[in-house]
Amino acid sequence: MTRASNTQGGAVALSKEGLPAWLDPVVHAVETVQPLQLSRFLPPENGAGRQSAVLILFGEGERGPELLLMERASSLRSHPGQPSFPGGALDPQDGDPHGDGPLRAALREAEEETGLDPAGVQLFGVLPKLYIPVSGFVVTPVLGWWREPSPVGVVDPAETARVFTVPVADLTDADNRAMALHPSGHRGPAFLVESALVWGFTAGVIDRLLHFAGWERPWDREKQVPLDWRS
């Protein structure tokens, strides 16, 4: 099965068949990366945390490979106003959270948040589950190839402020990279792209993917962008 087109309880499969050659380093990274190489925040051993999934969707735009991102509505309780991957908590109809539930949830949430047509998405990999301590989410990053692009945009302004794509070339540009500094003392990678500051969980995953795919270019880790307490 090369497409995951059924988000309502049908079979959802992973397939590497027919992927563009430029995705090979990403596929290799997904197959070899260890959880602690992605983040020091891993799911609690006692099984606590709310199961969720995000869709890391690679497409091919006018400037080459790109990623689909969205900006969360400022009114949301969890991570308001932050750029992020499409995604959210698993629903009961998504199925087994330790099976293909995260695959179905990632596609369903992406469709609900961006209007994406799941029929055009080929899922090809899953990263180890990660943990977001501030919100208690256990997140499964699901990777996809936008084989047949469809129009995307804000579906519900109460959830999403905007939907946009970012060329990988901009994400690897040293001028667009910095370390985000939170008043709590937390430091983490950040990207200044498409009039947005991408930081936190999303930036951390992008940073590690670029690194382990061999796409990372040298950048100034002393360059800092301050965040405020509301972030």
7 pLDDT higher than 90: no
Q: What is the pLDDT of residue 73?
A: 80
Higher pLDDT, 107 or 98: 107
155-193 burial string, b = 16+ CB within 10 Å, else e? beeebbbbbbbbbbebbbeeebbbbbbeeeeeebbbbbb
Q: What is the pLDDT of residue 229?
A: 64
Dihedral sign computed on CA atoms, order 131, 24, 203, 74: negative
Higher pLDDT, 82 or 149: 149
2 pLDDT higher than 60: no
pLDDT in tens, 61-80: 999 999 999 998 877 666 66
pLDDT in tens, 19-59: 999 999 999 999 999 999 999 999 999 989 999 999 999 99
Beta 224-226 vs 177-181: how paired, if at all? parallel
186 pLDDT higher than 90: no
Q: What is the pLDDT of residue 147?
A: 97
Contacts of 154-157 with C-beta under 8 Å, sequence gap 24+, read 154/114, 155/112, 155/113, 155/114, 155/115, 156/112, 156/113, 157/73
Helix axes 200-212, 24-32, angle to 10 degrees: 110
Cα–Cα distance, 158 to 100 (Å, whole number): 28
Q: What is the pLDDT of residue 1?
A: 31
Q: What is the pLDDT of residue 177?
A: 98
Quickly state the pLDDT bin for 159 (edges 50, 70, 90).
confident
Using the 8-state DSSP alphabet, how is residue 71 labeled? Answer: E
Q: What is the pLDDT of residue 77?
A: 65
Would you say 87 and 79 are in contact if contact means Cβ atoms under 8 Å apart? Answer: no
Q: What is the pLDDT of residue 231?
A: 62
Identify residue 96 by its one-letter amino acid code.
D
Q: What is the pLDDT of residue 78?
A: 62
Quickly state the pLDDT bin for 230 (edges 50, 70, 90).
low
Q: What is the pLDDT of residue 3?
A: 39
Q: What is the pLDDT of residue 228?
A: 77
Higher pLDDT, 80 or 225: 225
